[in-house]
Amino acid sequence: MEILDGKKLSEDIKNEIAQEVAQIKAAGGNIPHLAAVLIGNNPASESYVRSKVRSCDQVGFESTLIRKDDSITEEELLEIIHELNTSDDVDGFIVQLPLPKHIDEVKVTLAIDPKKDVDGFHPVNFGRMAQGLPCYLPATPFGILQMIERYGIETSGAHVVVVGRSNIVGTPMSILLSRKAKTGNATVTLTHSRTKDLAAEVSRADIVIAAIGIPNFISADMIKEGAVIIDVGINRVEDETRKRGYRLVGDVDFDGVAGKASYVTPVPGGVGPMTVTSLLMNTLKSSRKEIYG
Ligand code: NAD
């Protein structure tokens, strides 16, 4: 079994991006600038945003963090989004989810200018993705594609089973892998909470992509010998042996599948770091006006 080392791969990609930024700087060009909006103090969101800002520093991007209290109104947040949409200085931005209950996430997503939507969540980018047109790919699926491609895993003709149908991971992943494209051409089954015999579906997969949010849900007895296992889940489970009182686990029983799979992503250190790298790649594309001119 080989580990799909997202941490190492994301460092390699960040080094490549840093070299490009150095060239842009030397030529007096526009330094890519990513902004992040963080509402409230959800610890997981804080940690994701910290890692995004740190990654910007690492590659030489400019970054801006806009932090607001939970009490912000929807109107105030939409005003911030409007300012970011119209700022000449900011190439792309993200609004870290989840948002407080009184704010409509769909309204917020729709308010982001697709040209600056480097998370790839706006329906315009989603629709363009589905039709194979230039777009910002959603960050997590984009990171998974990068990982599959750089590890030389064949997807053409492979049977992929995606578990979970969220708008940000499962559904776009299923579309991307079935497209007629490099790192595509797979036969994809998209499964979810209403799937009748999930274990039977997963057992047929050459590649399993688990994005459910239930710790250790995918077990060794569900997978085929030699399958590639991509674990998107990030779940906190109590652990008194850790100083912070919890540890992170994925949706896959890593130790169990390790003896049977050909490749597995660890949690942490698998898909998570690749998501951040995708955000940087999308911001670089935006600063170069590669997608929308
Ligand atoms: P979500 O919570 O929006 O949706 C979960 C999906 O799982 C749903 O489509 C549901 O149908 C399916 N599901 C739930 N119970 C199921 C069951 N018993 N059997 C089959 N399917 C079931 O999901 P999300 O936002 O895609 O997040 C999934 C996980 O991935 C979470 O742990 C999240 O933290 C993590 N995540 C990680 C990254 C990353 O960068 N690594 C990015 C996004 C999400």
Measure the CA–CA gap between 274 and 78, rounded to whole angstroms: 29
Q: Is the CB of 271 under 6 A from ligand 1?
A: yes
Which residue has the CA at smallest separation from atom 1 of ligand 1? 166
- Band (118; pLDDT cuts 50, 70, 90): very high
pLDDT at 9: 98
Residues 81-109, mean pLDDT to the nearest whole number: 98
Selecting among 91, 116, 117, 119, the annotated active-site residue is 119
- Band (55; pLDDT cuts 50, 70, 90): very high
Residue of 191, 212, 232 to mutate, ligand 1, most atoms within 8 A of C-beta: 212
Q: Is the CB of 108 under 6 A from ligand 1?
A: no
User: What domains does the chain contain, in order, with CATH numbers?
Assistant: 28-113 (3.40.50.10860), 139-272 (3.40.50.720)
Residues 250-267, mean pLDDT to the nearest whole number: 98
Q: Is the CB of 278 under 6 A from ligand 1?
A: no
Which residue has the CA at smallest separation from atom 3 of ligand 1? 166
Q: What are the pLDDT digits (tens) for 129-169?
A: 999 999 999 999 999 999 999 999 999 999 999 999 999 99
Average model confidence (pLDDT) across the chain: 97
Q: What are the pLDDT digits (tens) for 213-228?
A: 999 999 999 999 999 9
Predicted TM-score (pTM) of the model is 0.97
Selecting among 96, 116, 231, 251, the annotated active-site residue is 96
Q: Is the CB of 198 under 6 A from ligand 1?
A: yes
Q: Compute, in angstroms, the gap from residue 161 CA to the centroid of ligand 1.
A: 14
pLDDT at 24: 97
Active site residue 52: yes
pLDDT at 255: 97
3-state SS string for the chain: CEECCHHHHHHHHHHHHHHHHHHHHHCCCCCCEEEEEEECCCHHHHHHHHHHHHHHHHHCCEEEEEEECCCCCHHHHHHHHHHHHHCCCCCEEEECCCCCCCCCHHHHHHHCCHHHECCCCCHHHHHHHHCCCCCCCCHHHHHHHHHHHHCCCCCCCCEEEEECCCCCCHHHHHHHHHCCCCCCCCEEEEECCCCCCHHHHHHCCCEEEECCCCCCCECHHHCCCCCEEEECCCEEEECCCCCCCEEEECCECHHHHHCCCCEECCCCCCHHHHHHHHHHHHHHHHHCCCCCC
Q: Compute, in angstroms, the gap from residue 149 CA to the centroid of ligand 1.
A: 23
Active site residue 19: no
Q: Is the CB of 163 under 6 A from ligand 1?
A: yes
Active site residue 119: yes
Residues 67-71, mean pLDDT to the nearest whole number: 97
pLDDT at 162: 99
